Structure 1
Amino acid sequence: MARQLRVPRLLAELPAPVRWLALPLALTCTAVVLVGSWSAPERIETPQPTGKAAGYCQALAAALPQELLGHARKDPSPASPYVAAWASSPRTVLRCGVDRPEELNGPAAKDLSPTIDDVTWWAKKLDDGGYRFTTTMRKAYVEVTVPGGAFANPLDPVSALNPAVKANIP
């Protein structure tokens, strides 16, 4: 004896063409929502240092940890000795050999500049709640971007990376 499929009363009262289109329409809407929620891969601009700065950055890249405060290192593709990243999303990103930030020329340069073990980091609060820290008074500028809410204290990743920066960037 074959079982008959029971159609919910609401659907049974609809005209046949509407019932036939209900499932394809629901699947199409679901696909649109899913595709719309996917985000494009994060683009990280790779610095192109030259001369001695490039050598310092390559030495720093070799000294960087594979894990940063419990987050595994996941460098962006294509690989570069001037960019390192930890975690997947949101990521803490280190870029070495960046240009000197324009803001360091103004009065705001002294506002947020913590010094950790003789390395001074200029801090800039980002619109998304994160911070961008950039070394000052070094032969190559190193930038660490810490996403908002990734750490209890945004200086924690900078403090953990500080010994490698101090040892490799004079």
Structure 2
Amino acid sequence: MPSVLAVGVVVFAVNAGATWQPPLGDPDPRDEAAKYCETLMKSLPTEVFGHARTDPDPSPHVATWGSSPRTVLRCGVPRPESLDDIENQRAESPSVDNVTWYMEKDGHGGYRFTCTKRKVFVEVESPAGAYPNFVDPLSLISTPVNSTIPDSFGRLNAGDDDAA
């Protein structure tokens, strides 16, 4: 029994100092959504505020920047379940470069952003401590989203997600 306790203490000690990393789960967009995601992935920046881009293999719809902690973009994710709550639908959301982002805390001090008024849901995880301001990565990611993922009216490079 003492050896089991020692192993548990070592595992806890190693994990206690580890930085939480956003998951890399590969979304599975289909048909038209997959084409939009492929176009988006080609237009994303190679660097976000000094964090180099790396694409996990074989995840064609996932991009990451940095390593610890890493910023993760996933294209073609499902609609966030928390948007079923009418209060969350009415919550204030950041709009960056004409893309509206639904914002959720990730449970680890960072934020998860999902663009909601587009033909495809794109999710960006901005982990705690990665940037001076948690919305910083959106300033470099929103323009490619706006130019590759049509808004809910089918427009690219729309001036405002809320405009009719």
Q: Scaled by the length of structure 2, what TM-score is found?
A: 0.76
Return structure 1 stretches of 4+ with deviation > 6 angstroms: none
2:58 is the counterpart of 1:65? no
Q: 2:131 aligns with which of 151, 155, 164?
A: 151
More helix by share: 1
Q: Deviations over 1:92-121 (max 9, x none)?
A: 000000000111222112223111222110
Q: Percent identity?
A: 49
When structure 1 is superposed on structure 2, of 133-142 and 100-109 the one drifting more is 100-109
Alignment match of 2:14 (pick from 23, 37, 41): 37
The alignment yields a C-alpha RMSD, in angstroms, of 2.2
Which structure would you say has the larger RCO, counting Cα contacts within 8 Å and 6 or more residues apart? Answer: 2
Structure 2 gap ranges (5+): 1-5, 151-164
Distance across 2 between alignment mates of 1:120 and 1:92: 19
| Contact persistence 1:90–1:147 (CA under 8 A) | yes
Q: Secondary structure at the match of 1:150?
A: coil
Computing the radius of gyration from Cα coordinates, the structure with the larger value is: 1
User: Which one of the candidate residues 55, 58, 62 is aligned to 1:83?
Assistant: 62
Distance 2:59 2:145 in 1: 17
Q: Which amino acid aligns with 1:101?
A: P
2:83 maps to what in 1? 104
2:33 counterpart letter in structure 1: A
**Structure 2 CA distance for aligned equivalents of residues 70 and 79 of structure 1:** 24
Name which of 71, 78, 81 aligns with 1:92: 71
Name stretches of at least 5 consecutive residues in structure 1 with no aligned partner. Answer: 1-28
1:133 and 2:110 aligned: no
The structural deviation recorded for 1:34 is 8.7
